[in-house]
Structure 1
């Protein structure tokens, strides 16, 4: 039981830390190159504006850490045969919400990396007047033989504004992808630990 409670505290602290990092990474994506003017002008990509790192990998995961230990013992709530189903239901619901939030963040980050950054790029064709627009150049101007994630020569030649838009996009969405994957593993581990802890508590009594 003591081992289960200790593990639960460590997992809760880890989840809380990853939730804060996810929220921070998504917030930074709203300010390319630390410039607020892009957000004010509405020139932020849809993946960052969705804010899955804020409410998905952030708040929905953070609520799991607010779950108080109810596994019995001195100074804690007493687990009985009557309270066990309610505790299991609460643990299942909080774990389900946290898992859903982490998965949404993971999927959004993966799609964002696939589509590429939202930036200003040259849309002019050969021998025509030069023209620029904001969009997703690596999605709209799709080249099946080249992938911008592996071809770094495209990073500074396609996106004209914001400066280093590709590096900013890839860095923070990659971070969100890794954080949300870690959150999925932690939530699953946390649920099984709570499940075993509650039943062990009941068996002890």
Structure 2
């Protein structure tokens, strides 16, 4: 069984995804690549789905997963692989944290895509949400409603879609580790035990 190796692979994948999610969320604070007043920024950007949900909260599970491969498996209280089993059980809890964080980002991104960006329409002075129930997703001619900031619709659509895909991938990866952790907890991973490389006698196992 290679539960630790699987966890390390998942952790290695989660780190760059967390970084990308954080960067995508930061870019959303600059609609169309421009600096605008904070009150004119889409409210869903301020929910920090990418920074908090798929970013910060994802770092902790990723680091735990990365450390499982090198976790000490000497055992405890004479019980073979007890330490490894406990570590795998702990990883299940952190996987749950990862699922909650990425799930939060997934929901925020989904709602933001459905609502659309906040922008200034021609002949108006107040920034509003001109789209309804994601109608702009299938009808690109509606994008012309937004005159400022320039290219706000594709900017909004691209970055929140990236967050949606990243958070969805993170949910799947954390769910895989939760299952992997259950197997590791029940079955263990160390084929030989003994602290500091010394095998324990069979009668102590």
TM-score bucket of the superposed structures, by smaller chain: 0.7 to 0.9
Q: Is residue 116 of structure 1 aligned with residue 116 of structure 2?
A: yes
Q: Is residue 163 of structure 1 aligned with residue 159 of structure 2?
A: no
* 1:126 alignment counterpart: none
* 2:19 alignment counterpart: 20
Q: Distance in 2 between matches of 1:89 and 1:197?
A: 8
Q: Distance in 1 between matches of 2:116 and 2:6?
A: 39
Q: Distance in 2 between matches of 1:30 and 1:8?
A: 34
Offset at 1:77?
Answer: 4.3
1:1-205 to 2 correspondences below 5 Å: 1=1, 3-35=2-34, 37-38=35-36, 40-67=37-64, 68-69=67-68, 76-80=72-76, 81=79, 83=83, 86-122=86-122, 130-139=123-132, 147-155=135-143, 157-198=144-185, 199-201=187-189, 205=193
Offset at 1:160?
Answer: 1.1
Instruction: Give unmatched runs, 5+ long, in structure 1.
Output: 123-129
Offset at 1:99?
Answer: 0.5
Offset at 1:197?
Answer: 2.9
Q: Secondary structure at the residue paired with 2:117?
A: coil
Q: Distance in 1 between matches of 2:89 and 2:7?
A: 17
Normalised to the residue count of structure 1, the TM-score between the two structures is 0.80
Q: Distance in 2 between matches of 1:136 and 1:103?
A: 25
Q: CA RMSD in A?
A: 2.3
Offset at 1:203?
Answer: 7.1
Cα deviations across residues 137-176 of structure 1 (Å, max 9, x unaligned)?
113xx7xxx8110001111x11111101110000010111
Task: Tell whether the 8 Å contact from 1:79 to 1:201 is kept in structure 2 after alignment.
Answer: no
Instruction: Give unmatched runs, 5+ long, in structure 2.
Output: 194-205
